[in-house]
Structures are given as C-alpha cells and as structure tokens.
Amino acid sequence: MLQQLTDSTYLQNEMLSGDNVTKILEEKFEQLNSVTKVDSLLITDEEGVITNQKVSKGLKTFVNIDISSNEYMKQTRESLQPVYSNGFTGIRHTILFLR
C-alpha cells in the first residue's frame, strides 16, 4: 500500500507537495485507515521538514515543521532506503512515518 506512494512519479521526481501529491497521500491514508487506525501520514523533504501531511479529523497538521532529529529520519539518511515505522507518538498524536 505505501510502496505505491513511494513509487509515485511525483515523489520519485521530488515533487513533495501540491494537489497531486495531496490526492495520493489522502488515498493512501484512507486505505490505511480501512485496515488499522492511523492518525497521520506525512511526507518530508530530504532535510526532514514535513512537506505534506494528512491527519484524522480534529487533529492539527505540522507542515513545515522540522523533524530531522527523529530516529526514523536518521535511519533513512544512514540507509538511503525508505523506513516504515510501526507508528510513534509525535507532536501530540500517533503518526506513521514514511520517508
């Protein structure tokens, strides 16, 4: 499910925000929530700044927030591979991390 997101032409061409990316992110968010509860799904740039985020109703988004010190960001930089979290408690809610 998330592999389709990471394989999207937009993300592969480093288009990390915009209407097309938002649409794909929203579709994947809804698909994930049909299987398990996900409060947030986000995309970051290579510096670790959130460029796009879909959140559950009533939760705040954190676009343009730097999360580069997060352990998952560090793992991605070291391995140069996507890192999928099991979910972690972030800025006041549980988020699924994909970079």
User: Average pLDDT by consecutive 10-residue portion of the chain (99 residues)?
Assistant: 71 74 88 85 86 90 90 80 61 49
Query: What is the per-residue pLDDT for 94?
Result: 47
Q: Counting Cβ atoms within 10 Å, is residue 22 exposed (0-12), middle (13-18) or buried (19+)? A: middle
Nearest to 42 by CA among 64, 69, 71, 9: 64
For the chain, what percentages of helix, strand and coil (3-state, to nearest 5) are there? Answer: 35, 20, 45
Q: Does domain 2-97 have CATH number 3.30.450?
A: yes
CB of 44 within 8 A of CB of 27?
Answer: no
Given this model, what pLDDT does residue 83 score?
67
Q: Where are the domains of the chain?
A: 2-97
